[in-house]
Structure 1
Amino acid sequence: MTKIKICGLTRLCDIEAVNEALPDFAGFVFAESRRRIAPENALALRKVLNDGIKAVGVFVDARIEEILGICSQGIIDVIQLHGQENQDYINKLRDITGKPIIKAVRVRSGEDIKAAGGFSCHYLLLDAYSQKAQGGTGETFDWNLAAQVNKPFFLAGGLKRDNIIEAIETLAPFGVDISSGVESNKVKDREKILEIVDLIRR
């Protein structure tokens, strides 16, 4: 069954909503973003997150020491890299933390996906390319390019109620990563979270 990740959680009510919906992963963004959360706030939210939901930390070209500090506090179970991190960087994180690593790919062409396939990460995350954004764009990309993927991947970028089933049936991703698609007025919407998780699970 396709795994579900709800990303960009910042408030207690967001955690209450995912605890009710029970996706597989919950994402905390530690990079520059309107969804950025301070480690101390993420720790407080993690303490009330359902134990069955894995917490993912999203970073963009962060110092390894920053990621290790967050890992050492027990805030996250999975590391997601959304910048220009190279193989040496990934290897060091894997060796030190032992945590699963997701490497995001901003897709412009199949070559972008092929190049990322050589990374020693556990999963790729395919997202739309934008010159303005290193993180999520809220836009889709040409899903046909995903035929180039050679390892388990999360699909991201513009996923919402109206296209999520088509995306899953077309690409059979390991997981889907949803953020803006479960927001209203740029904050997480409980009803949208419950609806999309139920839709995928059914």
Structure 2
Amino acid sequence: MTRLKICGLRRLEDITYANELKPDLIGFVFAAKSKRLVSFRQAAELRKALSAEIQAVGVFVNEQAETVAKLLNSGVIDLAQLHGRENRNYIRRLRQLTDKPIIQAFRIASQEDTEKARDSIADYVLLDNGMGGTGEQFDWSLVTGFDRPYFLAGGLSPDNVAVAIDRCQPFAVDASSGLETNGNKDYDKMKRFVDTVRLTR
């Protein structure tokens, strides 16, 4: 059964939408260059309004492991998603500081990239077109036969997610920009996405 993640929530309205639609996971983006950036304080407030049924993921780019662990251990987030240059040593260090799950993101542009993702020591890997939130998909043929649980991201929308699930058989699908209108989360797009995934899986 394909799990659902909606990333880039940053307004109370977004949390209200999520609480109604109940994706498995939502994402708070802590990457400084992202237009979906939220502060740690904002995330903590939004988390208080989030249904206990939904897990929160923190998206980081080259953040200090101690900071990531603090957010995990305090309950602001349940999982960490690493989108920068974090390597095995970083993940090992983070595991010394917390027992919460880790997702490592990979930009997939070649078969070599999929091999690197397959060898990750993170609990899960996320396969994307770029640094996240680009709204563009990669060549899905590169993950044919990928033999570990992974999050599929990159350009997913209500219009293509059924094909993505059928073709790629991911553990989870992750959407952000494909669920927005004028830079904000769009309830109707979120609902269509959630309904489509649930009908497909």
Where on the TM-score scale, by shorter chain, does this alignment land: which range?
Answer: over 0.9
Matched, 1:187 2:187: no
Partner of 1:12: 12
Partner of 1:176: 173
**One-letter amino acid of the counterpart of residue 117, structure 1:** R
Cα distance in structure 2, aligned partners of 1:135 and 1:141: 12
Indicate the residue corresponding to 1:64 in structure 2.
65
Alpha-carbon distance in structure 2 between the residues aligned to 1:174 and 1:3: 6
Query: How many residues end up aligned between the 2 structures?
Result: 198
Do 1:105 and 1:112's aligned partners in 2 also have CA atoms closer than 8 Å?
Answer: yes
Matched, 1:108 2:105: no
Deviates more, 1:111-120 or 1:20-29: 111-120
Q: Is the 8 A contact 1:127 1:136 kept in 2?
A: no
| Backbone CA RMSD of aligned residues | 1.1
8 A contact 1:4–1:176 mirrored in 2? yes
Q: Tell me the equivalent position of 1:73.
A: 74
2:30 partner amino acid: F
**Distance apart, 1:69 and its partner CA:** 2.5
Deviations 1:8-59 (A, max 9, x none): 0000000000000000001000112000000111001101101110000000
SS at match of 2:18: helix
Q: Runs of 5+ in structure 2 lacking a partner?
A: none
- What residue identity is the alignment partner of 2:152? L
Structure 2 contact 66–94 (Cα < 8 Å) conserved? no
Q: Does 1:138 align with 2:135?
A: yes
Matches for 1:18-167 after TM superposition, within 5 Å? 18-32=18-32, 33-129=34-130, 134-147=131-144, 149-167=146-164
- Using structure 1 for the length normalisation, give the TM-score: 0.95
Give 5+ residue unaligned stretches, structure 1. Answer: none
